[in-house]
Amino acid sequence: EYYANLKTSKSKSAEKGTNISKYKVNEAFNKKLSLIRADITTLEVDAIVNAANQTLLGGGGVDGAIHAAAGKQLKKECATLGGCETGDAKITEGYKLPAKHVIHTVGPIGEIPDKLQSCYRASLNLVKENNLKSVAFPCISTGIYGYPVKAATDVALQTIREWLEKDKYADKIERIILCLFLKKDVEVYEQLLQRRQGMR
């Protein structure tokens, strides 16, 4: 089991968000990777990644959910950033979110592996530059942007694994979370993760 189904705890005033320490880690990724099914806006992590668009001014899907949960100040800060190229990433504060920061990355529209890979790399590099210890990714580009889930999952797992193996900061990072929203996406990720574990 690589994921846990979660209840959101935002409504409870005693808790700020969903504590991630209970999640199981995946052995194939230096015990740093967790696969969970949750609303990413509830996670208490150093950063959540937003699948944004080039304007960074908000949109539908996970982008809309993050802006709604973070409050208006997030859009204000985003408006100062001058947008973001596809494959690049920019960081802001988390405002009302339980996450300390939001890393906004712009995924490709359709299946463009280089650009999707670049999103994961740019986001992880911001994690490193800001000395963050935990980060949660949604399934970038697989919603409105139409990237096929299986192909996108392959890129995500490959890129994260490579980064964990090659980047010196990998020792310092405590947890990378793949935060899935849809049950069918969890099934795809689990299958591919198991296949990768078998490869080791």
Closest distance of CB 166 from ligand ADP, Å: 26
One of 32, 33, 34, 63 touching ligand ADP (CB under 6 A): 63
Binding mask 67-106 for ligand ADP (x = CB under 6 A): ----------------------------------------
Phi, psi of 84 (to 5 degrees): -155, 135
Instruction: Tell me if 143 contacts ligand ADP by CB under 6 A.
Output: yes
Closest distance of CB 51 from ligand ADP, Å: 3
Instruction: Tell me if 169 contacts ligand ADP by CB under 6 A.
Output: no
Q: What is the 3-state secondary structure (H, E, C) of the chain?
A: CCCCECCCCCCCCCCCCEEHHHCCCEHHHCCCEEEEECCHHHEECCEEEEEECCCCCCCCHHHHHHHHHHCHHHHHHHCCCCCCCCCCEEEEECCCCCCCEEEEEECCCCCCHHHHHHHHHHHHHHHHHCCCCEEEECCCCCCCCCCCHHHHHHHHHHHHHHHHHHCHHHHCCCEEEEEECCHHHHHHHHHHHHHHHHHC
Q: Which stretch binds ligand ADP (CB under 6 A): 3-11, 62-70, 79-87, 186-194?
A: 62-70
# residues contacting ligand ADP (CB under 6 A):
21
For ligand ADP, the closer CB: 144 or 151: 144
For ligand ADP, the closer CB: 169 or 181: 181
How far CA 69 is from CA of 94, 95, 97, 102, 134, in Å, comes to 9, 9, 6, 12, 19
Closest distance of CB 80 from ligand ADP, Å: 22
Q: Which stretch binds ligand ADP (CB under 6 A): 16-24, 56-64, 88-96, 121-129?
A: 56-64
Instruction: Tell me if 2 contacts ligand ADP by CB under 6 A.
Output: no
User: Which residues of the shown chain bind ligand ADP in the complex (CB under 6 A)?
Assistant: 39-41, 51, 61-63, 65, 107, 138-145, 179, 181-182, 185
